[in-house]
Amino acid sequence: MKYVTLLTMLAPLSLAACDQSAMPPAGMGMAPTPMQTGPHAMRPPELPTDSAQPAPTAVPSSDGSPAIQSDLAHGLQVYRQTCAFCHDKGIAGAPIIGEASDWRPRLAQGMTALYASALQGRNAMPAKGGNPSLADADVRAAVDYLAGQVR
């Protein structure tokens, strides 16, 4: 009987604790948790900025087609956010940025083929580097940047 009385008294309190009106509006009065701000917080990886990395260069077309002009600085940004994880280390057979021996056979196929590989995926690389929200122009800018690091 004691437990029934105790449960009867505590039940309304537990329901009141779940009431949404007791919660402050989002972002008001609630501090972020340590998982949101601490050393293990979910953040995009920070890539080292290497001042010795060559500046973006123009990419002439190797297949005789007119080279598509893109903003190479934007290509660098897309590369760092989407492509660098694999292309910096050669993960899953990805050609390493700046390694001529990795890129020459691919460049010999022409920029159109490189764009198609990046947009549609090839071997272990998913389409758009696994980021389907990227616009096609963003992917082309990253390809231009990568190809420009070899020449």
Q: What are the tens digits of pLDDT across the range 88-138?
A: 999 999 999 999 999 999 999 999 999 999 999 999 999 999 999 999 999
- The domains of the chain are located at 72-148
At residue 16, does pLDDT exceed 60?
A: no
- What whole-number distance in Å separates Cα of residue 123 and Cα of residue 84? 17
Would you tell me which CATH number, out of the four given (2.60.40.420, 1.10.760.10, 3.40.720.10, 3.40.50.720), belongs to the domain 72-148? 1.10.760.10
What integer pLDDT is reported at residue 12 of this predicted model? 60
| Mean pLDDT confidence for 28-46 | 51
Name the amino acid, one letter, at 125.
M
Is residue 70's pLDDT more than 50? Answer: no
pLDDT at 72: 84
pLDDT at residue 51 above 90? no
Percentage of residues in the chain with pLDDT exceeding 70?
53
Q: Looking at the chain, how many residues does it have?
A: 151
Give the bridge partners for 81, in sequence order. none
Helix (H/G/I), strand (E/B), else coil: 122 = strand
